[in-house]
Amino acid sequence: MNIYLYELKSLRKSAILWICAMIALAALYFSIYPSMSSDALEFKELLSNYPPTVRAMLGIDLDYITSILGFYSMIFGFIILCGAIQAMNLGVSILSKESRERTADFLLVKPVSRQFIITAKLMASFTTIVVTDIIFCLASFAIANRVKTVDFSNKVLFMINLTLFFIQLIFLAVGVVVSVFFNKIKSVLPLSLGIVFGLYMIGALLATGEDAETLRFLSPFKYFNITYIIKNSSYEVSYLILSMIIVVVSVIATYIIYSRKDIHAVS
């Protein structure tokens, strides 16, 4: 419990910064919606002039873009990107920081198993993500209801926001398993940004290709199609299952590898 509480406290400041950043981003874009909705036809015509590949990359669906949920789907991609970076940073740093900060010996000589350490750290990261998403979800509901011009489905908005949690779980799990393959990670940010932006660009390129549907599994950013959620009020089960498999396999691999590896302090 002490490890969990200590990790939770150490993650508090960064969590507050990410929460503020994502809420500010949502508020900024939502503030544009009332003026856009008053000129919906002109806005739709403007977007129709964009090449189909650009619209696909930005997640723009002309059939829904003038509704508040359709408009939100366009800006939500940037919010997911922020959430993915936060989760990836958590995943990569949570186990590697002991070597990076030269506290590995101090932690590992305590009368607790490595499995207990992993569990406590993962739970602290998981709690941070849950708190982040709850606060962001409440804020986005408040802002959306403030700027709406017509009623919308709160259930669909909640389902859209929930995809942020799913994506963050994936990147948290991937980040943790990636970190245990390295004995020395001197800087977390370059590795985190490289993986997140790499997968984001893969997803963006896939959205413009002929085999977009076939190759969607290569990028977690494409597992949850917001337009599909708006149309059907449901998720694509195959990609939801794939997300669960990635998380479970990554966590199990983390326990196995970290329990057996030699931990060295950075010299």
pLDDT in tens, 148-177: 877 788 899 999 999 999 999 999 999 999
What amino acid is encoded at 79 in this protein? I
pLDDT level of residue 201 (50, 70, 90 thresholds): confident
Among candidates 55, 95, 99, 92, which has minimal Cα distance to 77? 55
- Give the chain's mean pLDDT: 83
Of all residues in the chain, the percent with pLDDT exceeding 90 is 33
Q: What is the pLDDT of residue 169?
A: 96
pLDDT single digits (tens) 94-134: 877 766 655 555 555 556 677 888 888 899 999 999 999 99
Place of tokens 């959620």: 229
Q: What is the pLDDT of residue 24?
A: 93
Among candidates 4, 251, 183, 203, which has minimal Cα distance to 84? 203
Interhelix angle 114-147/2-10, rounded to 10 degrees, is 40
- Integer angstrom CA distances of residue 122 from 89, 96, 173, 259: 13, 13, 9, 14
Among candidates 61, 59, 91, which has minimal Cα distance to 76? 59
- pLDDT over 90 at 264, yes or no: no
